[in-house]
Amino acid sequence: MKTYPLEVVSMDDLGYFSKGHQDKQDFIEAVNKLDLELGGDGDFDTAHINYNWWRSKPCGKSCFDVCYAICDGPGPGAFPVTVAYI
């Protein structure tokens, strides 16, 4: 299975994610650091974490407009994610 580096991305008011099923403690530390940098409280804990599978799909008029949809698991175009929802 492909491995992904821990790169936390903000989903604005929804939470944070990183591609790959990341170590929970490493992920939550990175989430809290980014949350503080963005003006948040930095008070996420491991109870906020979900492991999911997402698939990208076009959304919008530009070929660069991409949305992510939850899917059932490994399959064409699917990738694992670690998510901390607000």
Report the C-alpha gap between 19 and 36 in whole angstroms.
21
Residue 64 confidence (pLDDT): 76
For residue 58, what pLDDT is reported? 83
Domain layout of the chain by residue ranges: 9-52+78-85
What is residue 62's predicted lDDT score, i.e. its pLDDT? Answer: 77
Length of the chain measured in residues: 86
Give Cα 5 to chain centroid, integer Å: 12
pLDDT averages per 10-residue partition of the chain, 86 residues: 92 95 97 97 94 90 83 91 95
User: Tell me, what's the pLDDT at 30?
Assistant: 98
